[in-house]
Structure 1
């Protein structure tokens, strides 16, 4: 075989092998596009789209450490319950996380909120609670949430709210730019009851409020069907000088789940904005017919005064300190001084 024929044969064989390998080659698939988290600015800051959906999610919360002082100081475990403590001081820590989901519908934003809370009186005494969980759409809210009776003035002296303000409820609330009004049906299963009575556990509450220039206002009322008693409360604030004056009054026909501290009470406070970071709020409250008697059926014929001051200070962004001291003086008892110091990191 000539050299020329050998070269031609080798080239043909090489071409055949290369063709076979090309036919058997594995072609790599194109990588799928990675969907990074997108910012959702339709509902304010902090929201992002859940990947693959049009639902916006916000995660927020806080870490709180607080020292309580006073006779038989106690630590809250969430939902209004406390841990008994015979000491004159007590320290507890709380961690709270809130998940807020929102999406657009033909009826307006559909909102879902879950608030998880864990309170630790110490390493061996802890309680995890569902602090809130509700659905909200077109002004209708259903689930576990705080009522209007949980609202109060800015300081820590006023005592004009319900003993328990977290309920399973159905509520409708109309909202405009500077006004709201609503009605709710509340389950009062852990409310205040007359001796030996615990019936349908239903309460009806109404609330309205808003802003008018330098004024804010709120009126709240509730009727406890089991106790067949009700309460009404009015609050308002007005900017005066370097601070804000807050006034409130409450009346209760007899002890019930909406108000049971006294037959009536009035409170005044003045929140002074001393600096951009420091606020000082002195306050005073007067109780008429203070305390429940006869198995929670009547108010006592006792008057009481409460005096206090609250100091709020922003240490840095998202880190706050709060301290309060209060003195309660009732006609039928010695005066009692209580207070707390709190550090809270929000996120």
Structure 2
């Protein structure tokens, strides 16, 4: 036997062994590797951050807005005002949750970016970025930049597209604790940054903050709806420009109280009627006065040099629901009435008033899941008195009524949520 024959025989034996072993292997495809593990504990869209027990949900939204404006009397549009305006806004948010032995640990962050920021008929800086929310929750504790705990209409409903309404609508820096008592009862105590609740658009003469705002709410939630009562305390202070006739600056405390009610309408999918009203003295942010055409001021000095807070009340109501599975409708009405009696500035003083009524209606049609087209029309009636000296004397001295008129707006929004 030659060496060549030996090598050929060995190769054939090895080949036959390999074939026999291959015949014993199962003929299956490789199993798919799950690189992201789904977290079902907190609803759809959450996944586990690799290497941790924290669930994360990332979401986003694109809004394309197209609006037109009109008005009369005081709101005759000048060449500086827009009769039409477009804006595109992008939103992105991160919601991280971990279940611990002490309760749920959650952190939430949302940032918004606008191509052209629009407020009423004016367009502000282009390409603006803003923090919408940034807070931590642990059990009943909430800390960070979150919606004020005064009321619940704006945070839970507030279903207008652009139209203003008059209720607490600020995101503020706060630290709060909510206690759950069972049976739907809960109570919240919140310490909130008073600078986020200031209203000083008219004079801009507030002093530095000493004491933060204190907000409390009692709430009762049931299947039929919810009710709540809330209150707030707010310090307002003069700076050097508002010292009285004796050169003294003043510290005073304003307050606000309100009530909210929700009735769910079971005969309409998502049907609801919600109403919220409030009264304030020296704490007008809680009325939503910052959403009015003229804005407002927490305090003023009267014609006797006394340091006082502005007073007023506001109310908002909304009726809404799904007409069909694809078509949603909302009707919103809101009114605010504030006054500053005997404002300094002329013989006998004057009465500065801020009164507005807004009515808005909108429809939203879901084209496909995640894509909606909405349309809204709104009307605002303003009756805002100047209150300062108009150059007349004696019995002819009356408040000048600047800002008395109306404004309307309409538009369309395309929104994609993902």
Equivalent in 176, 179, 182 of residue 174 of structure 1? 179
Q: 3-state DSSP class of the match of 1:121?
A: strand
Alignment of 1:95-244 (within 5 A): 95-121=90-116, 125-149=126-150, 150-151=154-155, 153-156=157-160, 159-162=165-168, 165-175=170-180, 178-190=184-196, 191-193=198-200, 195-200=204-209, 202-226=212-236, 228-240=253-265, 242=268, 243-244=271-272
Question: Matched residues in 2 for 1:218 and 1:256: separation?
Answer: 20
Shift of 1:145: 1.5
- Between the aligned partners of 2:186 and 2:374, the Cα distance in structure 1 is 30
Partner of 2:416: 345
Task: Describe the superposition over 1:225-282 as per-residue Cα deviations: whole angstroms up to 9, x where unpaired.
Answer: 2262122222222244544333222211245332352711233332253212222223
In structure 2, relative to structure 1, the CA distance for the partners of 1:179 and 1:145 (3 Å cut) is same
Alignment-derived partner of residue 81 in structure 1? none
Q: Is the 8 A contact 2:167 2:314 kept in 1?
A: no
Shift in Å, 1:66: 1.4
Task: Count how many residue pairs are aligned between Structure 1 and Structure 2.
Answer: 304
Deviations 1:88-146 (A, max 9, x none): 22111111111111122221121111212211118x82112222222111211111112
Structure 1 66/148 Cα, relative in aligned 2: closer, same or farther at 3 Å?
A: farther
- CA-CA distance at 1:35 after TM superposition: 7.0
Cα separation, 2, equivalents of 1:220 and 1:313: 35
Which residue is 1:30 aligned to? none
Q: Does 1:335 align with 2:406?
A: yes
Distance 2:156 2:41 in 1: 30
Q: Is the 8 A contact 1:230 1:254 kept in 2?
A: yes
Residue 148 of structure 1 aligns to a residue in which SS? coil
Partner residue in 1 for 2:286: 258
Cα distance in 1 for partners of 2:341, 2:410 equals: 24
Q: TM-score, normalised by structure 1?
A: 0.75
Report SS of the residue matched to 1:104.
strand
SS at match of 2:51: coil
SS of the equivalent of 1:92 reads: strand
CA-CA distance at 1:212 after TM superposition: 2.5
CA 1:322 to 1:221, structure 2 compared with 1: closer, same or farther past 3 Å? farther
Taking a change above 3 Å as real, the CA distance of residues 244 and 42 of structure 1, as seen in their structure-2 partners, is closer
- Asked if the contact 1:152–1:161 (Cα under 8 Å) also holds between the matched residues in 2, the reply is no
Contact 2:146–2:174 (8 Å) recurs in 1:
yes
| C-alpha displacement of 1:215 | 2.5
User: 1:189: Cα distance to partner?
Assistant: 2.4
1:77 alignment partner in structure 2: none
Inter-partner Cα distance in structure 1 for 2:383 and 2:147 = 33
- SS at structure 2 position matched to 1:189: helix
Deviation, 1:166, is 1.5
> Which 5+ residue runs of structure 2 have no aligned equivalent?
8-32, 72-79, 118-124, 238-252, 290-310, 345-349, 385-403
Deviates more, 1:301-310 or 1:88-97: 301-310
Structure 1 residues 319 and 291, CA gap change in structure 2 (3 angstroms): farther
TM-score by length of 2: 0.63
Q: Compute the displacement of 1:177 (Å).
A: 6.9
CA contact (8 A) 2:186 2:219 kept: yes
**1:243-282 residue pairs with structure 2 within 5 A?**
243-259=271-287, 261=289, 263-282=312-331
C-alpha contact 1:199 1:226 (8 A) present in aligned 2 = no
Q: Is the 8 A contact 2:166 2:288 kept in 1?
A: no
CA gap of 1:342–1:102, structure 2 versus 1, over 3 A, is same
1:29-68 correspondence runs (5 A): 36-68=35-67
SS of 1:246's partner is strand
Query: Which residue in the other structure is 2:376 paired with?
Result: 324
SS at match of 1:265: strand
> How has the CA–CA distance of structure 1 residues 118 and 303 changed in structure 2, closer, same or farther, with 3 Å as cutoff?
closer
Q: Distance in 2 between matches of 1:127 and 1:195?
A: 24
